[in-house]
Amino acid sequence: MTDWTSLYASRMAGVVGSDIRERAKLLDARQIIHLGGGLPDPEIFPYARLAQASAAIWADPARARTALQYAPSEGHGPLREWIAGHMTARGVPCTVDNILITNGSQQGLDFIAKLLLSPGDTAMVEIPSFIGALRAFDAYQPQYVGLPEDAEDWADPALGGAKFCYVGPDFRNPTGTTMTLAEREALLDLAERTGIAIVEDGCYEDLRYDGAPLPSLIARAVARHGSIESAPVLHTGTFSKTVAPSLRVGWIAGPAEAIRKLVLIKQASDLATSAFNQMLLLDVVREGLGDMIAEACRVYRGRRDAMLATLARVMPEGVTWTEPGGGLYIWLDLPERIDATLLSQRALAEHHVSAISGAAFYPKGAANVTPRHNCLRLSFSMIGAEPARIGVERLAALVREMMAESAVAA
Amino acid sequence: MTDWTSLYASRMAGVVGSDIRERAKLLDARQIIHLGGGLPDPEIFPYARLAQASAAIWADPARARTALQYAPSEGHGPLREWIAGHMTARGVPCTVDNILITNGSQQGLDFIAKLLLSPGDTAMVEIPSFIGALRAFDAYQPQYVGLPEDAEDWADPALGGAKFCYVGPDFRNPTGTTMTLAEREALLDLAERTGIAIVEDGCYEDLRYDGAPLPSLIARAVARHGSIESAPVLHTGTFSKTVAPSLRVGWIAGPAEAIRKLVLIKQASDLATSAFNQMLLLDVVREGLGDMIAEACRVYRGRRDAMLATLARVMPEGVTWTEPGGGLYIWLDLPERIDATLLSQRALAEHHVSAISGAAFYPKGAANVTPRHNCLRLSFSMIGAEPARIGVERLAALVREMMAESAVAA
């Protein structure tokens, strides 16, 4: 009799499904007010453009053949060219040799960890960090170390020895905060001093609702070094937030030397991304990425503004939150005596509102990191202003209730 | 300055691109006669069915929304149901809980290795073995051991200790050979005796040109144990050979306990397979998988017959080959004094014919395996009978030339 548990690799120890996800399955999904997930709103997907692009591919026998045959592991050539042009326009002069197509940026993070991490190697991550990145890295069994919150500490010589430092400079998941230009420069200083690579998650950079864009880390690195080939940065990008997630098309940009290795990882992992999806994607972004970004920003900016206004109106004193200039998330700081995990459990069970406890966003076993227990991540992306208002009001009422309970207990 | 080479994980040591692939890039691809790759023939792709299925999805707003939003990591529910029914009809009673959707079966092999292999664990593989499986497994740094060629040796007690044994029972890549029913039973005996898992690559099982199908290993295991839940088998399947590869849809079937873990691996690796592609696939297989399989078999059977006839006509004495009952490959045994790697290099450079040296299909560092240097894999899938005939004639002439040269040298 096969004992599967005894066969699992050591990386599977402690790998369990999300509690929240499992509990949410027990409820009728339709009655939950989703402030937890960060799914894009299907209202902004470019249906008509994609329908037209599909029909055009099927109508052309040569294109249809290309669409259904295996694509090169490095990606569909014309899409790689388009992305190289897109990166060049954003201050990262590069060619197709600097671009690998991936199934969304999640696969890019997985591949970068596969490229760089042996068991026991050190991965530096910002604190708190995108949970999907942590789960991708976990599979390669790193030791984690937190990037200190204050950039002044980044000059600490003890920070060396990691393989890479993972950051989301723009409107990052989960806090919605953005690195200043000075912080970007300081991080590149750290990379240059220590020889560690920077892994830059660019997935929210197009979802900017206020102000002018800052240069990406990879753009700054290219400016410093004169060429992408000597930049210490691998940058992941995606069309999941600006076009649609289920085409599953993203990319890694970086020095050709590292991209060549990543192509071999792609080949061994799933051969290639769907050629059909890459061709569809290329057709719609070539025609209208700017319009799609503008529409996404219009919709999400309104939702962010509405949620920030509701929070200001209903949250009790002692609760603070970030005011993101873009992205999909707001990060709440609750009073110390509130356990956000319990709060999120009660919010779902008693009030049918999902929200994610901040505790989920800390790496396992990082010696220099103390997970916060009193933070909550809210997303404003998935639902309209009215249910979002109701959801935040219910959360605020629950926070007041838990504050009152803890005051009695104390 | 970042020294990327010093940052790479130990798994990347020795990972290099395929020489043949690199050399082929230097030639004009249009003039190469491809007997090397095993790409499906685009003539058999179901263009009209897919065009109709695409249009139907875009025409229905609710389906279009589902197609573009993130799918569940375990896969699009209705497709999992269809595959569970498909497996049930093939002697593997199961439910959606036994099915994970993957990006083709290549990703299934990667995930199974990620589930089971820690560095230094032992992976048993049949000899020679599918190169894509070996490259997927390599990333998890196993020790390899070869499954002995003769099933009588499978009772050897020294064969224990591996995490899994990887086999392709039907028309396997690269040899085109098929396990007998007695061998299937003997392999399950081995699994039961030692507690190792069987990883069954089912990617060619539908491409049968002669005779009646044999039960899959997972079907025999279910028959022995009464339930898939106690079967010691993970089975990978794909629609890449019967529908089209670039939808990138395959699956893993196995005990729910292992599938649950594999779902978490999928989530951390690339979140989910494209919902759009899964819906397209479901539409076309529900309507016409039987027809598509019949058409693929009709085309490839004719090509196999033609290539076997050409080989019999032109190959010199001392060369033998397999006569596959299905699949895409024929395996040639050349005289001992012929180096097949040199032959394949000269065939490409001097005669513009691609063929793969058998040496590529052996795992690195397996103590009980001696790679054969005088074997060649030919594929009959990609090109019509006439260029295939020319390609095999050129190869035969080159074999005669090299035999004559080696006779002079001796």
* Residues of chain A found within 8 Å of residue B248, distances taken between Cβ atoms: 270-274
**Cβ of B295: how many Cβ atoms within 10 Å?**
16
Q: What percent of chain A has pLDDT over 70?
A: 96
> How would residue A38 be classed by pLDDT, with cut points 50, 70 and 90?
confident
Nearest Cα to B248, choosing from A255, A246, A326? Answer: A246
Tell me: cis bond preceding B174? Omega within 30 of 0 counts. Answer: yes
B356 has which bridge partners? B377
Of the CA atoms within 13 Å of residue B232, those in its CB half-sphere come to: 24
pLDDT digits (tens, 9 = 90+) for A324-364: 999 999 999 999 999 999 999 999 999 999 999 999 999 99
What is the model's pLDDT at position A408? 82
Residue A383: per-residue pLDDT: 84
The pLDDT of residue B4: 86
User: Which residues contact residue B86 at a Cβ distance below 8 angstroms, ignoring those fewer than 6 apart?
Assistant: B285, B289
The label of the residue with tokens 């997907």 reads A45
Q: Identify the residue whose tokens are 């051991």.
A: B145
The answer, yes or no, to whether residue A17 has pLDDT greater than 80, is no
DSSP structural state of residue B41 = P
Query: What phi and psi values does residue B208 have, to the nearest 5 degrees?
Result: -105, 125
pLDDT band at A29 (very low <50, low <70, confident <90, very high): low
**What is the rounded distance in angstroms from the CA atom of residue A388 to the CA atom of residue A378?**
10
Do B40 and A69 make contact, defined as CB atoms within 8 angstroms? yes
Contacts of B50 in chain A (CB under 8 A): 58, 68
C-alpha span between A59 and A86 (Å, rounded): 28
Please give, rounded to a whole number of angstroms, the shortest distance from the CA of B87 to a CA of chain A: 21
Q: How far apart are CA B45 and CA B381, in angstroms?
A: 13
- Please give the pLDDT value at position A5: 85
Q: Indicate whether A409 pLDDT > 80.
A: no
Other beta carbons within 10 angstroms of residue A218's beta carbon come to: 28
Contacts of A382 in chain B (CB under 8 A): none
Give the pLDDT confidence score for residue B348 in this predicted structure.
95
Contact between chains at B196 and A16 (C-beta distance less than 8 A)? no
pLDDT of residue A18: 65
Q: Which pLDDT value is given to residue A20? A: 54
Helix or strand (DSSP H, E) at B304: helix B275-314
Q: Does A75 touch chain B (CB under 8 A)?
A: no
Angle at A176 between CA A170 and CA A181, to 5 degrees: 35
Q: Work out the angle between the directed axes of helices B340-351 and B385-409 (0-180°, nearest 10).
A: 120
Predicted confidence (pLDDT) at residue A24 exceeds the cutoff of 80: no
**Segment (H or E) for A295:** helix A275-314
Of all residues in chain B, the percent with pLDDT exceeding 70 is 96
Q: Which amino acid is at B119?
A: P
- Tell me the ipTM for this assembly: 0.96
pLDDT of residue A19: 56
The distance from CA A46 to its chain's CA centroid, rounded to whole angstroms, is 21
Any A CB within 8 A of B110 CB: yes
Residues on chain A touching B116 (C-beta within 8 angstroms): 7-9
A255 contact B CB<8A: yes
Cα A327 from Cα A207, distance rounded (Å): 5
Minimum-distance CB partner of B58 among A17, A42, A50: A50
Residue A25's pLDDT is 62
The answer to whether the Cβ–Cβ distance between B197 and A4 falls below 8 Å is yes
CB contact, 8 Å: A105 with chain B? no
CB contact under 8 A, B42 and A65: yes
B136:A39 CB<8 A: no
| Max Cα-Cα span within chain A | 74
Q: How confident is the model at residue A26 (pLDDT cuts 50, 70, 90)?
A: low
Cβ atoms within 10 A of the Cβ of B306, count?
A: 17
CB contact under 8 A, B47 and A70: no
Neighbour count for residue A340 (Cβ, 10 Å): 25
Q: Looking at the complex, does the CB of residue B15 fall below 8 Å from at least one CB of chain A?
A: yes
Task: Write phi, then psi, for A318 (nearest 5 degrees).
Answer: 100, -10
Q: What residues of chain B score a pLDDT lower than 50?
A: none
- pLDDT over 80 at A16, yes or no: no
Q: Which domains does chain A have, with CATH numbers?
A: 17-45+290-409 (3.90.1150.10), 48-288 (3.40.640.10)
pLDDT above 90 as % of chain A: 88
Mean pLDDT value across chain A: 94
DSSP code at position A165: E
Interface mutation vs chain A, best among B52, B106, B248, most A CBs within 10 Å? B248
Q: What is the pLDDT of residue B38?
A: 85
The owner of tokens 């050399």 is B23
Treating both helix axes as pointing N-terminal to C-terminal, what angle do B47-59 and A47-59 enclose, rounded to 10 degrees? 160
